[in-house]
Amino acid sequence: MNLPLIFLLLMSIAMLAYVVLDGYDLGVGVLLRRARPEQKDTMIAAIGPFWDANETWLVLGVGLLLVAFPKAHGAILGALYLPVTLMLLALMLRGVAFELRAKVNPERKLAWDRAFYAGSLGASLAQGFMLGHYIVGFEHSWVAYGFALLIAPCLTAGYAMLGSCFLIMKTDGDLQQRAIAWARGSLWLTALGVAAVSIATPLASPHIFAKWFSMPALIALMPIPLMTVVLFAFAHIFLHRLASDAKAGNARGLDRWAWAPFVCAVGIFLFAFFGLAYSLYPYLVIDRITYVEAASSNEALSIILIGTAITLPTIIAYTIYSYRVFWGKATKLSY
């Protein structure tokens, strides 16, 4: 019984890492359309050393789902076949555009910038739709599809908030001021999405409703929504302060607190993830398939665990090393 639980935790860590890490560079791609032409290279430079490594977490998470929980993999990917296909096509377009925009003539660069934006937006919307459809248990009703269509732009706004807060840390000058405005604009649509997921998840299943609203669980779990609200409030306060410092030309204040909105944004995603994980446990498909029922045999999991024990530390070490090497402000790309 321990091996399925270990793989459930590993898969959860991989998916959480993907949402946070690839979330901010998807957000930068979504925001690319709003930047001035001379600022786009700096935005690309800010995520250039990290974006392809960030997507490794998606490969790891889905790979663990496939090999460790094949029954759930079939049910989830079967129900989400179309949005998954659209997401993969968007990620392919995004990767091609990222590489070719730096190699074409200047007059053709705008077209690849638009392609990078389209790929980032398409992948974000597809992931939001998948999240919404997953939460309602893959129901085929107008209400379920309407909820999924609501979560799609909300998750995109969440990625844009992560991306803009990342740019606040990595840039300066006019681009940094624009990033502050972008973060303030995306904050409340992100809050709407978190609130919608928090309300819909207990309503999707009597089992989940009982887990949240029975005593003493209600009191014990109250810090999760309270801390989420506090982080939204702090993000608003920090962004307002940074906007005031930017308007006043207070470079010292900008440098001192540039990290704070990104930390708040990551914290919001962490608490939202913890709440969702608690709601779903022990199910991989709500009220249908538990992680124990979906798991491969213990013999197979034992072999897979050896490979994971090699792969996961390597990914973590490379990620830490790359962020350490490319720490600091981004500069304009040059080739």
Q: Quick one: residue 287, left, alpha or beta (phi over 0 = left, psi -120 to 50 = alpha)?
A: left
Quote the CA–CA distance of 13 and 17 in Å, as a whole number.
6
For residue 333, being part of any structural domain is answered with no
Per-residue pLDDT tens digits for 273-284: 999 999 999 999
For residue 55, being part of any structural domain is answered with yes
Per-residue pLDDT tens digits for 76-130: 988 999 999 999 999 999 999 988 887 888 778 889 999 999 999 999 999 999 9
For residue 79, being part of any structural domain is answered with yes
- The confidence score (pLDDT) of residue 53 equals 84
Quote the CA–CA distance of 121 and 129 in Å, as a whole number.
12
CA 18-282-278 angle, 5° bins = 60
Whether residue 82 contacts residue 35, with contact meaning beta carbons closer than 8 Å, is answered with no
For residue 331, being part of any structural domain is answered with no
For residue 330, being part of any structural domain is answered with no
The total domain count for the chain is 1
Residues 6+ apart with CB under 8 A from 108: none
For residue 273, being part of any structural domain is answered with yes
Domain span holding position 302: 2-325
Confidence of residue 264 (pLDDT cuts 50, 70, 90): very high
Average pLDDT over residues 179-196: 95
Look up the pTM and report it.
0.93
For residue 201, being part of any structural domain is answered with yes
For residue 332, being part of any structural domain is answered with no
